[in-house]
Structure 1
Amino acid sequence: MKDRITELDLKEAPFLNKERIAEDVGNSLILAPHPDDESLGCGGLIAMLRSSGKNVIVIYITSGSASHLNSSLYPPQKLAKLREKEATNACLELGVLQENIHFLGFQDGQLIKLDSVKIIETVDNIVCITANKSLKSIFFPWRRDPHPDHIVTNTIGKLVTKRYNNELIQLEYPIWLWKNGKCDDWPFQSEINPVRLNISDYYKIKKRAIEKHKSQLGKIINDDPNGFVLTDDLLKPFDGNYEYFFTENKRNQKALEKDYFDKIYHNSNDPWNFKNSTYEIEKYKNSISALNKTDFKKGLEIGCSIGVQTNLLAKICNSLIAVDISEKAICEAKKICNENTNIEFKVTNILRDFPSGTFDLITLCEVGYYFEKDSLLELYQKIDSALVKYGRFLVVHWIGFVPDYPLSGNDVHNKLKKFMIEKENYKMLANQRTEYYRLEVWVKTH
């Protein structure tokens, strides 16, 4: 499986940003082939989104009526009603509004028999249900999840995405891949990007939601020994602090421009929670420490945002130029840094108007992935020209999944490493990698 994503790869996949899940994922549609798939595959995500105030719509394609075909106490029609009730209770446990729970009522195990006309009618129905819900993301089973109902639901999900002009973030969740997947069922490395979500704060809620599916846990129907039961072994992949998703690599190839940031800052003065985020505070502390120097003559901070890190850099620089493309961000930064007299703020596009002069410290933190690859390399060239001998270059980036950015954090650092090797006049002074970010300090040797 050298060319395939493996279970080990999933365990080391980049994270979805749980602190920004509401902004990154937004209002979401969950397509579930059967009752219980929503809780197993997405329960923590759903609970997290709901706690962040985002709408989640759950649509069940079937009602799971074929799980106990030999039960006389629960024939298919009665079982369908039971499973719909259990699914509703599970969704309510996760925080989904009653009005956002829908059952399409197709026959369990028979989706493969739907013709193209019925598929399109189903897509039309889903689009009608989700109209005016301001959807940003859609979740449905992995395209080769080894169950025909899951594969057909994936097809339906992709058609729904097309009806939204492919503007929805599309994430696929594995269910049966874990236990029943063969080599050919797993994704090719070139096919998708795996991501994971830390749901430890919502694990108990997810577990309670799963427990609502009592008929699948063998707690209700006892007259069909051959009926389907979610055993402890089958539940094992879903009993933990992480949920896993696959997303196609369809990044926006254009660099993000001023309008993008104007919109971000229009909605919030501190859109990334720089002031209070544990992630940011820890990262700033590590960044200053990694520089291993406190007497820089002249520093340049590229992408200062609202100035939280700027304050810290000002303490180790005699003078500091802090630039950002957003005028509003610079206004906030001036307020936060009003006690520092050694900072010069500039509203500028760094590629078009790189500050003149030379610097013995340049920082590029949480900015590089806003550029496309050619403009990023152009920026590296400008930084190299402006950095004096023995000057230090600090680079820090979030390495989790962010759908809007042209590059990932790993892309930024990997391209930088290649650039530095080709220049042959840099030495890596610090190299840190946490679950959430990469931090590097390079020193110019000659």
Structure 2
Amino acid sequence: ADLLAYPVWAWHWDDPAAPTAPWDRARALVLDADVRDRKARALAAYPSQTLPLSGAPGDEAIVDDRHAAHHLRAEEWLFAPLRSRSRESFDAHYARKPEGWDFEGSWYEQRKRAVTLAALPRPRFRSALELGCATGVLTAALTGRADAVLGTDVAAAAIEQARHRAPDARFETAAFPAEWPEGRWDLVVLSEVGYYLSPDDLDRTVDRVLETLDDDGVLVACHWRHPDDDAVTDGDTVDARLAARWPRPALVHHVEEDFVLSVLPGPAVTSVGRAEGLVR
């Protein structure tokens, strides 16, 4: 079942010329006369809201006639939640383009991958988890930096390619955050997939990372900053949400026109200079 949002004060405060309500996700529920009558009687049961408290300025009714009219119409307006991009959508993408995106041929992809690897605060990790590994190009590079690497992706076709490209890694077909792999990690990579998650699923993903990340571990998040028709949100929104929910400031925060990259540390992580004794 979906949890729908009901606009209470949006009718009072939102601006029709520049609305903030997500009208593309609005749904109408038609009400019969009996339901409308019951609603009107329920609203009238709260005179502290519908009648003036006194004749003094500032004591006017909170829910005045104009506002109440929105709630007594012949239909209810509700807002559907944002949904994460579906498994079927990714399956269809790989059916059209078996390589997914041009991970190996694109200089953007090659350079971004090099920047991501260079941002890692240690030369070696014990156990790495890549969420949304696609066809395994970054996963293969991570096997040179970690003793064990697990890649997960929602698309079975992508996982099949990843197994051939990165034979030293393990792979699981899984939709995170609901399908979370067993284990603990000192490196979690979230590259170019956070904006395919609904805000709720992104929050739950952060929670799962925090639950399974070792104290000396890091979350590395890298995201495209330009529009994507298939995305639920965007790279800047994802990066800001990660920073807001993470309990410590970013160890690395790299922003350029095309992508944003953050390295979010566990409680035992220090800067590279401090870890090597260059800073005391």
Report the TM-score range of the alignment, normalised by the length of the smaller protein: 0.5 to 0.7
| Alpha-carbon distance in structure 2 between the residues aligned to 1:351 and 1:412 | 15
| Alpha-carbon distance in structure 1 between the residues aligned to 2:179 and 2:18 | 42
Q: Give the aligned partner of residue 249 of structure 2.
A: 427
Q: Give the aligned partner of residue 397 of structure 1.
A: 223
The DSSP-based 3-state class of the residue aligned with 1:427 is: coil
| Alpha-carbon distance in structure 1 between the residues aligned to 2:182 and 2:159 | 19
| Alpha-carbon distance in structure 2 between the residues aligned to 1:274 and 1:324 | 15
Q: How does 1:193-204 map to 2 (within 5 A)?
A: none
**1:295 equivalent among 109, 120, 124:** 124
Cα deviation, residue 355, structure 1: 1.0
Cα deviation, residue 190, structure 1: 6.0
| Alpha-carbon distance in structure 2 between the residues aligned to 1:274 and 1:299 | 20
Alignment of 1:414 onto 2:240: yes
**Which letter does structure 1 place at the counterpart of 2:172?**
K
Q: Give the aligned partner of residue 346 of structure 1.
A: 172
Alignment of 1:327 onto 2:156: yes
**1:266 equivalent among 86, 95, 102:** 95
**Which letter does structure 1 place at the counterpart of 2:264?**
W
TM-score normalised to structure 2 length: 0.66
User: C-alpha deviations, 1:317-342, integer Å up to 9, x for none?
Assistant: 0001111011100111112123xx2x
Q: How does 1:182-201 map to 2 (within 5 A)?
A: none
| Alpha-carbon distance in structure 2 between the residues aligned to 1:345 and 1:188 | 46
Cα deviation, residue 188, structure 1: 6.1
Cα deviation, residue 266, structure 1: 0.2
Q: Which has the higher helix share?
A: 1
For the Cα contact (< 8 Å) 1:254–1:406, is it kept in 2?
A: yes
For the Cα contact (< 8 Å) 1:427–1:444, is it kept in 2?
A: no
Cα deviation, residue 294, structure 1: 1.7
Q: How does 1:154-173 map to 2 (within 5 A)?
A: none
The DSSP-based 3-state class of the residue aligned with 2:215 is: strand
Identical-pair percentage: 25
Cα deviation, residue 411, structure 1: 1.0
Alignment of 1:276 onto 2:98: no
Cα deviation, residue 432, structure 1: 0.6
**Which letter does structure 1 place at the counterpart of 2:93?**
I
| Alpha-carbon distance in structure 1 between the residues aligned to 2:103 and 2:240 | 25
| Alpha-carbon distance in structure 2 between the residues aligned to 1:355 and 1:438 | 26
User: Gaps spanning 5+ residues in structure 1: where?
Assistant: 1-186, 192-251
Alignment of 1:444 onto 2:266: yes
Cα deviation, residue 427, structure 1: 3.5
| Alpha-carbon distance in structure 2 between the residues aligned to 1:284 and 1:303 | 14
Cα deviation, residue 350, structure 1: 1.8
Q: Give the aligned partner of residue 67 of structure 2.
A: none
The DSSP-based 3-state class of the residue aligned with 1:428 is: coil
Could you say what the CA RMSD is over the residues aligned between the two structures, in angstroms? 2.1
| Alpha-carbon distance in structure 1 between the residues aligned to 2:19 and 2:263 | 30
Q: Give the aligned partner of residue 193 of structure 2.
A: 367
Q: Give the aligned partner of residue 211 of structure 2.
A: 385
**Which letter does structure 2 place at the counterpart of 1:313?**
L
For the Cα contact (< 8 Å) 2:243–2:250, is it kept in 1?
A: no
User: Gaps spanning 5+ residues in structure 2: where?
Assistant: 1-16, 22-80, 269-280
Q: Give the aligned partner of residue 63 of structure 1.
A: none
Cα deviation, residue 347, structure 1: 0.7
Cα deviation, residue 278, structure 1: 1.1
Cα deviation, residue 254, structure 1: 1.4
The DSSP-based 3-state class of the residue aligned with 2:208 is: helix
**1:305 equivalent among 134, 141, 148:** 134
| Alpha-carbon distance in structure 2 between the residues aligned to 1:404 and 1:296 | 33
Equivalent pairs counted in the alignment come to: 195
TM-score normalised to structure 1 length: 0.42
